[in-house]
Structure 1
Amino acid sequence: GFAFGMVAMSFWAWALDPRLAATLAVFGALVGQLLAVFTVRRGFNLRLLLPFVLGGLAGIPMGVAVLPHLDMAWFKALLGGFLALWCPVMLMARSLPPVTVGGRLGDTVAGMAGGVLSGIGGFAGPVPTLWATLRGLGKDEQRAVIQNFNLSMLLVTMGVYLGTGVVTRQMLPYFAIVAPAMLIPTLLGARLYIGISEARFRQIVLGLLTASGVALLASSLPTLLARYADA
């Protein structure tokens, strides 16, 4: 429940207007979170969640303000490169000790980064997910934090999009296509989650983040290379 926006944007950016692509990514991720939040409810901890959410709420307006001025190709290349390089290192280093510094301040900063990315295009989950993995949170705790954080950020982001006119009436038919497309993958993911171990969950999370980074690079590098070829 954290990589839909990144993977979707890597494909939609080829054919759709950036604002439409960002809005559909936020809407699709929001639908997925609304469906998933009722499937597995273990591990909820409000004290653990709150710093992430407060940081995220501060970050969303920044992301929305940046969106109209952002070079999306460079943004996706930088974020994708970071995920594609850092996550495999964590995946191979199985015995890394959990990060014990930062505490709630670190949670708030990670949440703020997630809020900024949510405002840009619904990418709320990757940075908080990576931080929660570094902190060594248990499977249920991590899923509960990230799922509820994502849901909070996506709800607020969609509200801001609606309030600032980013969402238009012409986008509604696209919403009707994206919403049912989220149903089966979300329910399947929830069923698979119940039967996996802590170690396997960590591997899946880092593997999906790596794949998301590769997808972002694959969609952005050709655009950047074409610019320099034409220069």
Structure 2
Amino acid sequence: MWFEAMAVAASCFVAAFCAGMAGFAFVLVAAGILLHVVPPSVTAPVLVLGSLMAQSMSLPALWRHIEWPRMRFFVGMAVLGLPAGLLVLARGPAGAIVGGVGVLLVVYAGYMLARIALRMAPPEVAGSRAADGAIGFASGILGGIGGFVGALPAMWADIQGWPKDRARAFMQPFIVFMQAITTVGLAFAGFFTSEALVLTAAAVPALVLGTMLGLRAYVRLPAQGFRIILLVLLLVSGVSLLI
């Protein structure tokens, strides 16, 4: 149990630092470590609770930047997509869908990083309500399949060239709302065992420290530095979905 607790604390520290700095990727970063140490039935509640705590800690600083009408619509479409994701998880080609999203993230992030390296201007893409709805619905499907709710909103914010505060104010509230819904679902399904709760509690100090250090790094990051980190994490997220 001590080894598992230390592994959970270490993974939550690294994941919380990334989430504090970039606004997303807690689940994907932590899962890459935890799934090698802790059974998936225990990993799921630890990841969701850890993500919820890490994202909630930095949310008050972004409150004034949140576009509430857009956020309500986006979350609503994601909630509609959740049952579809759960259905795919139970009966459909969930692996193929997750793999397809992984390819999309790798291609997109690799292309954008190449443009930055070649000093090319980012493409100008204007969003729309219909596109918001499609991205929100697709994010809900991915949330139902495996809790991967942050990657597509992060890509959508980047492709529109939003400033870093606006991008975070779009990603983080969405992740918090979706993880809160997931937490309720896991609780009703009985996933919050004593082992999961003890491991999560043991990781809280590391999680808080990682989030605070990540937020401090975020404040000091220039806009271009934030975008590069966002794209690198998208690339890593895509690769992790393909493994």
Q: Give the TM-score range, shorter chain.
A: 0.7 to 0.9
2:123 — aligned with what? Answer: 97
Distance in structure 2 (CA, Å) of the matches to 1:165 and 1:66: 21
Distance in structure 1 (CA, Å) of the matches to 2:66 and 2:80: 22
Query: 2:212 aligned with 1:187, yes or no?
Result: yes
| Residue identity matched to 1:97 | P
Distance in structure 1 (CA, Å) of the matches to 2:222 and 2:113: 15
2:39 — aligned with what? Answer: 17
2:157 — aligned with what? Answer: 132
> 1:147 offset after TM fit, Å?
0.8
Distance in structure 2 (CA, Å) of the matches to 1:110 and 1:59: 10
| Residue identity matched to 2:133 | T
| Residue identity matched to 1:28 | G
| Residue identity matched to 1:98 | E
- Indicate if the aligned counterparts of 2:81 and 2:140 stay in contact, CA closer than 8 A: yes
C-alpha distance 173-73 of structure 1, shift in aligned 2 (>3 A): farther
Query: 2:224 aligned with 1:202, yes or no?
Result: no
TM-score (normalised: structure 2): 0.77
C-alpha distance 166-60 of structure 1, shift in aligned 2 (>3 A): farther
C-alpha distance 153-163 of structure 1, shift in aligned 2 (>3 A): same
Q: CA RMSD in A?
A: 2.5
2:135 — aligned with what? Answer: 110
1:228 — aligned with what? Answer: none
State the Cα deviation string for residues 144-176 of structure 1 (Å, max 9, x = none): 011111111111111111123343344222221
C-alpha distance 50-91 of structure 1, shift in aligned 2 (>3 A): farther
How many residue pairs match? The answer is 217
Please, which runs of 5 or more residues in structure 2 have no aligned partner? Answer: 1-22
| Residue identity matched to 2:126 | T
| 1:148 aligned residue (170, 173, 196) | 173
C-alpha distance 52-148 of structure 1, shift in aligned 2 (>3 A): same
Distance in structure 2 (CA, Å) of the matches to 1:10 and 1:69: 25
Query: 2:182 aligned with 1:160, yes or no?
Result: no
Query: Matched residues, percent identical?
Result: 33
TM-score (normalised: structure 1): 0.81
Please, which runs of 5 or more residues in structure 1 have no aligned partner? Answer: 221-231
